[in-house]
Amino acid sequence: MFEMQVERSPQSIAVIFENTQLTYWQLNQQANQLAHHLRALGVGPEVLVGICLERSLEMIVGLLGILKAGGAYVPLDPAYPSERLAFILEDTQTPVLLTQEKLLNNLPPHQAQVVCLDSNWQGNIQNSQENPVNQTAGDNLIYVIYTSGSTGQPKGVMIPHRGICNQLYWRQKTFRLTQADKVLLTISFSFDPSVWQIFWPLCFGGQLTVARPGGHQDTAYLVKVITEQQITVLALVPSILRILLEEKGIENCPFLRHITCGGEALPGELIERFFAKLGLDNVLYNCYGPTEASIDTTFWTCQRGTNSTIAPIGRPITNAEIHILDDNLQPVPAGESGELHIGGIGLARGYLNRPELTIDKFIFNPFSSEPGARLYKTGDLARYLSDGNIEFLGRIDDQVKIRGFRIELGEIEAILGQHPALTQTLVIARDDVNGDKQLVAYIVASAEQIPSRVELRRFLQSQLPEYMVPAYFVFLDTLPLNPNGKIDRRALPAPDLSRRESEVTFVAPRNEVEREITQIWEQILGVQPIGVKDNFFEIGGNSILAVKLFWQIEKIFSKNLPLAILFQSGTVEALAKIISQEEDLVRNLASVNILDKSKSSWSSLVEIQPNGSKPPFFCIHGLGGEILCFRELALHLGLDQPFYGLQPQGLDGKQPLYTRVEDMATHYIQEIQTIQPNGPYFLGGYSFGGVVAFEMARQLQEQGQQVGILVMLDSCRPGYSWQAPFLKRVFLHLNNIVQQGPAYLWQRTVKWTSWRKQHILNRYQRYLKGVIDLPVNDKHLKIMDANTQAMSEYIFLPYLGRAVLLRADDQSRDEAIGTQYDPQFGWGDLVAGGLDIHHISGAHHNLFNEPHVQVLAETLRNCLIQAQSPKN
């Protein structure tokens, strides 16, 4: 089908990824070269080929190359835990694995022959660019995609070509894609809706646009791409659609003509919100279908004035059968509920290496005269409405869908059951205060050893994707039982959504200092009661609330404590001990390991996550000096990546502040060399910290030390935007004002007429989102003033190495004009070895907040892995 389209439109653009694109002819040639190479490696019909790639043009070439060779692809999401990847590779025994060189160190041990599409792709140039002779029939496999399994292991669903061909022909006949249409790939290729997103445009002449890594969850980025690329076709789960409708600019997308919503139930109120926001009729479609039935099986055109709480899932697509049956496999009357069964051309062959499960779920079809016809038991409850449409009612087993991900609760329970301290486990899905489903784990632990919630979370994160890790853990003495001896799910206590489970046994305040600190915590966090052994972060604390907390402590106790003290003493008990001691604050900090105990003075170097065998990553503070914001980033990087923060000298109020970048860099180098005397050094800095990290890298090179990586986290070279031509700056300023609106113009007017000190105050309070009014003599403002002076007087000299820029597309930032004029943020002519640029989701002020910190961590992790590879 793809090759026929290449003949029809060889010079049309087939696929776009960021700033690169391929025509149908170019894409076909590259896929052919790969296909001939794979044929030489033994790939043909029924041969499984693993593919572990980030979103890229190579990913599309790889999928087509596998299919052209006759093989079936097995998607391996690079973001999956190593244990899950290892299981899939072991289960499939793929003889060949397509990947990228930078991902090699992430892959578990395997026996497959590796083909790196980014490094040894040139070896395929000698291969033929002609279409290979087709060896594939409709009954041959096209892919094996793994879904959550109720027995504790994922299960591979085997899908033949015929079901996908039927899916694509139905879509084309029903919705009529044209060469003017542009489809945005928003679904991970390890989930089956990605199949139609990729192959529908490529088989019928449309244009495929691939969202950047992490971009499919960043709604601001999605709106930007939709508007700039004039995207016409989208697929979204309802939870992402809800957020997308809140994004500024989405109302200016009249060119959208087809949006598929699926993966979870579509609320009627969300449909009404869609029409109110966009006003587009016959554009939004609610689709339903399990992986076992070749993507979508039913669809319904969303209509205004829907009275249903949940949208119907509609009627069957072409060549699909739907039967709603009772326990005796007899059809139920309209209006009555039964289990939804699927038949027809789209059924999977079954589950790879799971013949018993295949027999159990794929049963004989008593309603068909076709020999060997089967029905798939979905486990979904449904009923026919009076108009012939089908209404989805929920599950009859323990499978749930959260944010579009199909989750077998038994798989989570099986993994939890492997923890040696647990005797019983049960996982269910509950609605939170916002009506969104959250996973809750109910735990019965042995009396001798009760694990903490953090321990259980990390235990699961090492083996399961993040979306399968429960949000709440509830500890019980026993699981409640009903009279029949089964677990009584209705008797399970609901988790306190205002307070996550404490990691330790509750201990009430025991003296006046602990009582006063506890009262401050309860007031700031909105959580009651708080015990003296509760951890600040585990009961809802964050870097913003920490500023307010420590300001209150300073007002009441006259103790000027750095926020980073929370890394090593984040409990009421520990803070009370520090405040109660009569010794000098320097000795107090040393007693709780903020300082290196071998020193007699306070240290700028702070252990945020000191464990792991990899080289440590040193990250320098932003303009305000605090490093508490790095905590979530360090956690997302994993337990094997040591992470240290560097905070300014003088943050303790006892030492003078540095006002020169060069002096800061020298001091921080001395600090990091106390734990790592020699390179290679892995350095990074956020915002202003990127400038300091740049100078540190320069000084280390002058000392003859090796710099493994230099990472600027959304850091701009000060003043570089003024290098743009005058008329260009004027145009960009006017355009930015139009895009941001009148409020932005007012904000700029106020800023341009403010005194410098007030400007610093306003900027820091904007960062704090108004949670606290800081006095003009606050230490953070003094640090910002010193850092601003240092930045304004710093003379940039070239750095001879290579650097990495992780940048956000934030048009509301101070340097917005410069970021539009120069995507290198002014670093291009200063980094002699070249600058690698990675776009990340979020804005400058929320990079370290969920969900953006996950994307940031994934990008940074890949950069660190690449920097540690032998060739580097």
pLDDT digits (tens, 9 = 90+) for 39-69: 999 999 999 999 999 999 999 999 999 999 9
SS3 747: helix
Q: Verify that 838 and 854 share a domain, yes or no.
A: yes
- Quick one: average pLDDT of 135-152? 88
The amino acid present at 852, given as its one-letter code, is H
Going from the C-alpha of 725 to that of each of 720, 821, 827, the distances in angstroms are 11, 9, 18
Least confident range of 765-774, 809-818, 862-871 = 765-774
In a domain, 176, yes or no: yes
In a domain, 594, yes or no: no
Handedness of CA 667, 670, 673, 678 (dihedral sign): positive
Position 765 pLDDT exceeds 70 = no
**What are the DSSP calls for 98-134, one per residue?**
EE-GGGGGGSPP--PEEEETTTSGGGGTTS--SPPPP
Burial 114-143 (b: 16+ CB within 10 A, else e): ebbbeeebeebeebeeebbeeebeeebbbb
- pLDDT at res. 701: 94
- pLDDT at res. 536: 80
Q: Verify that 168 and 58 share a domain, yes or no.
A: no
Look at residues 336, 363, 397 and tell me which one is the last residue of a structural domain.
397
The amino acid present at 739, given as its one-letter code, is Q
Position 769 pLDDT exceeds 70 = no
Residues present in the chain in total: 872
- Please state the separation of Cα 265 from the chain's center in Å: 22
The amino acid present at 425, given as its one-letter code, is T
Cα separation, 39 vs 66, in Å, equals 9
In a domain, 829, yes or no: yes
How do strand 258-261 and strand 233-236 relate by DSSP bridges?
parallel
Look at residues 362, 397, 432 and tell me which one is the last residue of a structural domain.
397
Position 134 pLDDT exceeds 60 = yes
- Quick one: average pLDDT of 428-433? 74
Q: Verify that 683 and 802 share a domain, yes or no.
A: yes
- pLDDT at res. 737: 40
Mean per-residue pLDDT over the chain, rounded: 83
In a domain, 107, yes or no: yes
Q: For residue 749, how many C-alpha atoms fall within 13 Å in the half-sphere facing its CB? A: 7
Per-state percent for the chain, helix, strand, coil, to nearest 5: 35, 20, 40
Position 10 pLDDT exceeds 70 = yes
Position 680 pLDDT exceeds 90 = yes
Q: For residue 582, how many C-alpha atoms fall within 13 Å in the half-sphere facing its CB? A: 0
Q: 481: domain CATH number?
A: 3.30.300.30
- Quick one: average pLDDT of 235-244? 85
Percentage of the chain beyond pLDDT 90 is 44
CB 708 within 8 A of CB 870: no
Q: Verify that 174 and 250 share a domain, yes or no.
A: yes
Cα separation, 365 vs 376, in Å, equals 9
Position 821 pLDDT exceeds 60 = no
Nearest CA-CA partner of 133 in 274, 259, 246, 36? 36
CB 436 within 8 A of CB 468: no
Cα separation, 24 vs 12, in Å, equals 6
Number of folded domains that form the chain: 4
In a domain, 773, yes or no: no
pLDDT band at 525 (very low <50, low <70, confident <90, very high): confident
Q: List the structure tokens of 5.
A: 């389209």
230: left (phi over 0), alpha (psi -120 to 50) or beta: left
Rg over alpha carbons for the chain, rounded to the nearest Å, is 29
CB 790 within 8 A of CB 661: yes
Q: Verify that 209 and 352 share a domain, yes or no.
A: yes
98: left (phi over 0), alpha (psi -120 to 50) or beta: beta
- pLDDT at res. 120: 61
- pLDDT at res. 815: 47
In a domain, 262, yes or no: yes
Look at residues 463, 491, 519 and tell me which one is the last residue of a structural domain.
491
Cα separation, 290 vs 301, in Å, equals 19
Angle at 795 between CA 792 and CA 800, to 5 degrees: 135
- pLDDT at res. 844: 82
Position 291 pLDDT exceeds 80 = yes
Q: Verify that 212 and 357 share a domain, yes or no.
A: yes
Cβ neighbours of residue 573 closer than 8 Å, sequence gap 6 or more: 507, 514, 532, 533
- pLDDT at res. 402: 75
- Quick one: average pLDDT of 687-710? 95
Q: Verify that 280 and 341 share a domain, yes or no.
A: yes
How many other β-carbons are positioned within 10 Å of the β-carbon of residue 638? 18
CB 113 within 8 A of CB 95: yes
- pLDDT at res. 736: 43
Q: Verify that 314 and 171 share a domain, yes or no.
A: yes
- pLDDT at res. 242: 84
Cα separation, 127 vs 37, in Å, equals 7
- Reported as a single tens digit per residue, the pLDDT across 242-290 is 888 988 899 989 999 999 998 888 888 889 999 999 999 999 999 999 9
pLDDT band at 506 (very low <50, low <70, confident <90, very high): low
Q: Verify that 389 and 406 share a domain, yes or no.
A: no
- pLDDT at res. 742: 41
- pLDDT at res. 501: 44
pLDDT band at 449 (very low <50, low <70, confident <90, very high): confident
Q: 66: domain CATH number?
A: 3.40.50.980
Cα separation, 141 vs 45, in Å, equals 7
- pLDDT at res. 625: 84
Q: Verify that 264 and 223 share a domain, yes or no.
A: yes
Position 860 pLDDT exceeds 70 = yes
- Reported as a single tens digit per residue, the pLDDT across 611-640 is 788 899 999 998 888 888 888 888 778 777
Position 27 pLDDT exceeds 60 = yes
In a domain, 749, yes or no: no
Q: Verify that 24 and 40 share a domain, yes or no.
A: yes
The model's pTM is: 0.59
Percentage of the chain beyond pLDDT 70 is 82
- pLDDT at res. 726: 43
- pLDDT at res. 871: 58
Q: 211: domain CATH number?
A: 3.40.50.12780
Nearest CA-CA partner of 117 in 14, 199, 174, 38? 38
Domain range for 281:
148-397
- pLDDT at res. 459: 86
Whether the upstream peptide bond of residue 680 has omega within 30° of 0, thus cis, is: yes
Position 359 pLDDT exceeds 90 = yes
- Reported as a single tens digit per residue, the pLDDT across 456-502 is 887 887 778 777 888 888 888 888 865 555 577 778 888 865 444 44
Going from the C-alpha of 773 to that of each of 553, 642, 784, the distances in angstroms are 15, 35, 16
- pLDDT at res. 142: 98
- pLDDT at res. 739: 44
In a domain, 512, yes or no: no
Cα separation, 530 vs 519, in Å, equals 9
Least confident range of 285-299, 538-552, 778-792 = 538-552
Q: 637: domain CATH number?
A: 3.40.50.1820
Position 204 pLDDT exceeds 90 = yes
- Reported as a single tens digit per residue, the pLDDT across 534-585 is 878 767 676 667 777 877 887 788 777 777 777 766 788 888 887 776 344 4
Position 301 pLDDT exceeds 60 = yes
Nearest CA-CA partner of 551 in 541, 540, 560? 560
Handedness of CA 128, 131, 133, 138 (dihedral sign): positive
Q: Verify that 297 and 196 share a domain, yes or no.
A: yes
